[in-house]
């Protein structure tokens, strides 16, 4: 991490300079300052420059790292790693490395995921510190930016812990602290994530209208707190936070063919594409224009597991044939391959349907079986499937929830991988699906370079 921290000392200023020119920050570009005058001190004396700093962070999240819809993001990495995607690219591509399970502690991609995330966190912390130390920003802007930054710091650390296990939780830009920072347990990471999210609740707006949910709100923090409750099997907490979002009339499950449009009623938090007329990386990455594919496609065993009549197959899966009449299937949740006259789709990070399934499991674990069935059926009937009957058979209901999560959330930011681990099914499923699967693959290795630079990050994860 020391190497990363050294680079980060100048990254914020570089980030701010570049973001002032980027198309996603149009509202912040007319600030009238020469680029060589942009320093942290100047930025946090001006509301528009401070907003621009945060806009640059959003731009970086959309371009790279866990939350990116690009081929380097969690959707492609984890989809290829487990049983969603098959890679057709060169052996050195991100998708192929994880599809083939050829990753090691010295693999460049392992370091890239780590360094990208901690670079983003560094810049987030720089915004928090800049806001806290500023006496010239307006009260409203200070609250907005700090609330958003706390939310972003939480979600990135959550993904780091889900990926690597015990990791550092970084809350400062101070080099002397970060160069030798140590790991904390996953449960401690969860606690710190919760603390950041709870602090954000006092600062963020309650909600935003559909079509403009490109910034975190209280609803986004509630959704992430519900997800943490799910990962920790803290069912009372998970249900409580699901209720807060589901019971808000502005957030409703959306029909399938509108769910990933920018004005979807079920979207809780989205990332804005590059600029006006641009759409998502997901559409460009997943849609196959010519066959055979050169990147990724859905695995045939995944396709064969869809229930007959499931409209998610007809709405969210498309197909293409090659010259030999072989059929390839690909994710079609995002249906815009390139730019359009106006932007039609935003990248959906958090949505209501996930919360119905989290709440269904919470109800099941609290023996509220009929309520669990109601939430399962809300998802199933929207997909054109018959509802399941009321039952107190907990094993049957849990399998129903696992199945709905499988087909509702496929290729969305690693849900399937994290779910299999949550249900203690990872090895059982993957040892059948991939002959080279090993139990230690439940986590990625810590980057070898980082362990050499900072011995406090030891020990390495088991098996690497």
Q: How many domains would you assign to the chain?
A: 2
Q: Assess whether 67 and 176 both reside in one domain.
A: yes
Strand-pair category, 267-271 with 296-298: unpaired
pLDDT computed for residue 178 by the predictor: 93
Q: Assess whether 145 and 288 both reside in one domain.
A: no
Domain boundaries, position 138: 1-204+443-457
What's the pTM?
A: 0.92
| Contact present, 416 and 82 (Cβ < 8 Å) | yes
Of 122, 131, 113, 157, the closest CA to residue 14 belongs to 122
Q: Which alpha helices (H) appear in 87-208, and where do they start and end?
A: 94-99, 108-133, 139-164, 175-178, 186-201
Q: Assess whether 34 and 138 both reside in one domain.
A: yes
pLDDT computed for residue 1 by the predictor: 60
* Cα 413 to Cα 78, 156, 194, distances in angstroms: 7, 12, 20
Q: Is residue 377 part of a domain?
A: no
The Cα–Cα gap between 22 and 34 comes to: 16
| Contact present, 262 and 342 (Cβ < 8 Å) | no
| Contact present, 85 and 79 (Cβ < 8 Å) | yes
pLDDT along the chain (464 residues), means of 10: 47 45 34 41 90 95 95 94 96 94 95 96 96 95 98 98 98 94 98 98 97 97 98 98 98 97 97 91 96 97 97 98 97 94 96 98 98 98 98 98 98 97 97 96 97 97 96
SS3 464: coil
The Cα–Cα gap between 108 and 126 comes to: 26
The Cα–Cα gap between 223 and 226 comes to: 5
Residue ending a domain, among 347, 363, 379, is 347
The Cα–Cα gap between 183 and 202 comes to: 28
| Contact present, 119 and 11 (Cβ < 8 Å) | yes
* 43's tokens: 């930025």
Q: Is residue 153 part of a domain?
A: yes
The Cα–Cα gap between 184 and 182 comes to: 7
Q: Is residue 385 part of a domain?
A: no
Q: Which alpha helices (H) appear in 64-107, and where do they start and end?
A: 74-81, 94-99
Q: Assess whether 142 and 289 both reside in one domain.
A: no
Q: Is residue 223 part of a domain?
A: no
Domain CATH number, residue 1: 1.25.40.390
Q: Assess whether 58 and 153 both reside in one domain.
A: yes
| Contact present, 196 and 152 (Cβ < 8 Å) | no
Ramachandran area for residue 410 (φ above 0: left; ψ -120 to 50: alpha; else beta):
beta
SS3 86: strand
Q: Is residue 430 part of a domain?
A: no
Q: Which helix or strand (DSSP H or E) is residue 448 part of?
A: helix 448-453
Residue ending a domain, among 347, 374, 404, is 347
| Contact present, 91 and 154 (Cβ < 8 Å) | no
Total count of residues recorded for the chain: 464
Q: Assess whether 186 and 311 both reside in one domain.
A: no
The Cα–Cα gap between 49 and 31 comes to: 7
SS3 270: strand
**Tokens 């055979």 sit on residue:** 292
Q: Is residue 438 part of a domain?
A: no
Exposed e or buried b per residue across 374-409, where buried means at least 16 C-beta atoms within 10 angstroms of its C-beta: bbbbbbbebbebeeeeeeeeeeebbebbbebbbbbb
Q: Nearest 5°: phi and psi at 351?
A: -145, 160
Q: Assess whether 41 and 183 both reside in one domain.
A: yes
Of 318, 336, 338, 337, the closest CA to residue 328 belongs to 318
Q: Is residue 240 part of a domain?
A: no
Q: Assess whether 188 and 71 both reside in one domain.
A: yes
Q: Is residue 378 part of a domain?
A: no
Q: Which alpha helices (H) appear in 366-393, and where do they start and end?
A: 369-382
Q: Assess whether 180 and 72 both reside in one domain.
A: yes
pLDDT computed for residue 34 by the predictor: 35
Q: Assess whether 48 and 168 both reside in one domain.
A: yes
**Tokens 């998970």 sit on residue:** 238
Residue ending a domain, among 347, 368, 395, is 347
| Contact present, 145 and 131 (Cβ < 8 Å) | yes
* 399's tokens: 């399998």
Q: Assess whether 10 and 132 both reside in one domain.
A: yes
Q: Assess whether 41 and 147 both reside in one domain.
A: yes
The Cα–Cα gap between 320 and 98 comes to: 24
Q: Give helix 218-231 / helix 415-422 axis angle, nearest 10°.
A: 40
């Amino acid at each position: 991490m020391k190497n990363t921290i050294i680079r980060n000392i100048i990254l914020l200023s570089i980030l701010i300079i570049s973001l002032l020119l980027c198309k996603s920050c149009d509202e912040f570009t007319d600030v009238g300052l020469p680029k060589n005058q942009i320093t942290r001190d100047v930025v946090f004396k001006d509301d528009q420059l401070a907003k621009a700093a945060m806009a640059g962070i959003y731009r970086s999240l959309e371009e790279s790292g866990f939350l990116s819809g690009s081929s380097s993001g969690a959707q492609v990495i984890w989809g290829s790693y487990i049983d969603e995607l098959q890679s057709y690219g060169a052996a050195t591509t991100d998708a192929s490395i994880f599809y083939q399970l050829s990753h090691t502690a010295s693999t460049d991609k392992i370091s890239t995921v780590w360094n990208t995330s901690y670079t983003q966190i560094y810049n987030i912390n720089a915004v928090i510190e800049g806001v806290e130390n500023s006496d010239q920003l307006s009260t409203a802007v200070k609250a907005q930016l700090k609330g958003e930054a706390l939310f972003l710091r939480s979600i990135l650390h959550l993904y780091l812990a889900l990926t690597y296990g015990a990791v550092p939780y970084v809350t400062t830009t101070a080099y002397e602290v970060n160069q030798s920072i140590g790991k904390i347990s996953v449960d401690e990471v969860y606690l710190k994530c919760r603390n950041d999210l709870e602090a954000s609740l006092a600062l963020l707006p309650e909600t935003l209208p559909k079509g403009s949910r490109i910034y975190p709100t209280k609803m986004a923090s509630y959704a992430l707190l519900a997800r943490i409750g799910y990962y920790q099997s803290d069912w009372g907490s998970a249900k409580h936070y699901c209720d807060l979002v589901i019971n808000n009339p502005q957030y409703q499950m959306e029909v399938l063919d509108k769910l990933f449009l920018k004005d979807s009623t079920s979207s809780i938090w989205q990332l804005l594409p590059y600029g006006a007329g641009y759409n998502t990386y997901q559409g460009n990455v997943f849609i196959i224009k010519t066959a055979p594919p050169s990147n990724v496609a859905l695995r045939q065993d995944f396709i064969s597991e869809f229930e007959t009549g499931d409209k998610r197959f007809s709405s969210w899966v498309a197909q293409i044939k090659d010259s030999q009449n072989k059929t390839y299937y690909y994710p079609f949740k995002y249906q815009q391959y390139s730019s359009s006259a106006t932007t039609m789709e935003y990248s959906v990070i958090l949505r209501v349907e996930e919360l119905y399934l989290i709440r269904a499991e919470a109800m099941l674990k609290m023996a509220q079986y009929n309520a669990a069935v109601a939430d399962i059926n809300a998802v199933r009937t929207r997909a054109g499937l018959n509802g399941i009957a009321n039952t107190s058979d907990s094993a049957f209901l849990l399998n129903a929830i696992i199945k709905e999560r499988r087909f509702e959330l496929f290729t969305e930011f690693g849900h399937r991988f994290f779910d299999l681990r949550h249900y203690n099914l990872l090895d059982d499923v993957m040892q059948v699906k991939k002959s080279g699967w090993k139990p230690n693959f439940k986590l990625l290795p810590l980057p070898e370079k980082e362990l050499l630079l900072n011995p406090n990050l030891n020990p390495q994860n088991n098996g690497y």
